[in-house]
Amino acid sequence: MSRATTAAPSPFRPANRHRVERAVAILAFACGAISGCPPPQPARPPTPPRDSAEIVSLINDNNRRIDRPLYSPAVRVAAHFRDERGRPHDFNFDGTLLVRKPRELRLDLRHPLGEPVMGVGSNDDDFWAWVKPELSTFWWGRHRHVGKTCADPIPLRPEQLLETLGIHVLPTGDAELVGPARMYGNEFDRLLYLRRDEDGRFRLDREYWIERRPPHLVRVILFRDAYGRRAVNAWLGDYRPAWDGGPLVAHEVSVFWPEDDGRLSMSVSRFTVPSRISPRAFARPEASALGLTRQRQVDETCDTIERVESISASAPATQAATQPESGD
């Protein structure tokens, strides 16, 4: 049953314990957060190695077919995060999910009696998260400020959640993101990408772990910060067709943010393709309309810096335009 608690710290127990325990064993990032690890599995014979181009092509061919919005009327979510004061919060709710590439997301969670209690969303410009029980707070920010030092983190990182659903095509390399380099393993092919920073140096940016057995899709996604630390760990499972004859989509997703001690496990019963979506479906809501008492823009300082820089940049041009001409 759905609940919201702030009791003493307890093991994070997502919706499907057995699937997530396997993810924990794969990622080796949360054995201390649950009571024990799964027993070792018997070794299976290795599969023939595949070329990197073949690995990327299969995944991208599948994900390019996800060319329409996906809706689930039945989603179960378990979430854990800490607020600005470091206090832990644990929630288990059911709800709905609406997603449309590249950046549109809406996850609405409700109390068993039907009252909306929690939400996560994103559109082309903004992202947001809100929680009514215990916090009554609405956080939001702008995509263009993500990664800047002037921007504070937001609970459950909605700007990153879309990237961990495994519905986007894999990068094929560009001026800033180089890769993939491949590491072979008996269970997974690991695709690694390097990012070129402003100083021209390269750093490890992300990894995709591709299962070496059918359906040969992404099982683990890792994003790293500027220091090479794991910033986001995601495990994907239960791949099923998004619609009859459609592409395969993960119906189980577990995400862990190590630095923030944030976790989210989501189980989707099924996806459908909506015949119509309201133009307001992905509009950022207002805190007051949700009955929340507090609203906070996490990157307001970034907006202020932008305004100051814009004024400073326009000032010389204005002065030049108003400068009187000197006679001979």
pLDDT value of residue 226:
85
**What pLDDT does residue 257 have?**
94
Beta-bridge partner residues of 109: 95, 118
Q: Kindly state the DSSP code that residue 150 receives in the 8-state scheme.
A: T
Model confidence band, residue 325 (pLDDT cutoffs 50, 70, 90)? low
> What confidence tens digit (pLDDT) does each residue in 201-235 have?
899 999 999 999 999 999 999 999 888 999 999 99
Positive/negative CA dihedral, 312, 318, 323, 325: positive
Question: pLDDT for 250-269, tens place per residue?
Answer: 999 999 999 889 999 999 99
What's the token pair of residue 262?
């944030």
Does 327 map to a domain? no
Q: Is 164 domain-assigned?
A: yes
Mean pLDDT of the chain: 85
Q: What is the pTM of this model?
A: 0.81
pLDDT of residue 7: 39
Domain membership flag for residue 230: yes
For 132-169, write each residue's pLDDT tens digit. Answer: 999 999 999 999 999 889 999 888 888 889 899 999 99
323 is a domain residue: no
Phi-psi region for residue 291, left (φ > 0), alpha (ψ -120 to 50) or beta? left
Look up the domain containing 213 and give its range. Answer: 20-40+55-313
Q: Quick check: 27 and 235 in contact, CB under 8 A?
A: yes
112 preceded by a cis bond (ω within 30 of 0): no
Report whether 99 contacts 70 (CB < 8 A).
Answer: yes
Q: Whole-angstrom Cα distance, residue 304 to residue 124?
A: 21
Interatomic CA distance for residues 153 and 242, integer angstroms = 32
192 lies in some domain: yes
Q: How high is the pLDDT of residue 114? A: 81
Average confidence (pLDDT) over 87-107? 95
CA atoms within 13 A on the CB side of 150: 14
CB 263 within 8 A of CB 256: yes
Q: Judge if the upstream peptide bond of residue 102 is cis by omega within 30 degrees of 0.
A: yes
For the residues 171-194, what does the mean pLDDT come to?
A: 89
**Burial of 146 by CB count in 10 Å (0-12 exposed, 13-18 middle, 19+ buried)?**
middle
Q: Taking a C-beta distance cutoff of 8 angstroms, is the pair 26, 13 a contact? A: no
Is position 236 within any domain?
yes
For the chain, how many structural domains are there in total?
1
Q: In this structure, what CATH number is given to the domain that contains residue 141?
A: 2.50.20.10
The predicted model gives 6-32 an average pLDDT of 43
35 pLDDT higher than 50: no
pLDDT higher than threshold 50 for residue 1: no
Q: What is the pLDDT of residue 317?
A: 57
- Beta strand 116-122 pairing with 3-5: unpaired
**Quick one: pLDDT at residue 173?**
74
Q: 271 by DSSP, 3-state: which?
A: coil
One-letter amino acid at 18 equals H
- Residue scoring higher pLDDT (167 or 316): 167
DSSP E strand boundaries for the chain:
3-5, 70-82, 88-100, 104-110, 116-122, 126-131, 137-142, 177-183, 188-196, 202-211, 218-224, 230-241, 248-257, 262-268, 294-297
Give domain status of residue 276, yes or no. yes
Cβ atoms of 236 and 218 within 8 Å: the answer is yes
Residue 3 lies in a domain: no
Q: What confidence tier does 5 reach under pLDDT thresholds 50, 70, 90?
A: very low
pLDDT band at 13 (very low <50, low <70, confident <90, very high): very low
pLDDT tens, position by position, 297-312: 999 999 999 999 989 8
Q: Could you tell me if 35 and 60 are in contact, meaning their C-beta atoms sit under 8 angstroms apart?
A: no
Residue pair 219/188 in contact (Cβ under 8 Å)? The answer is yes
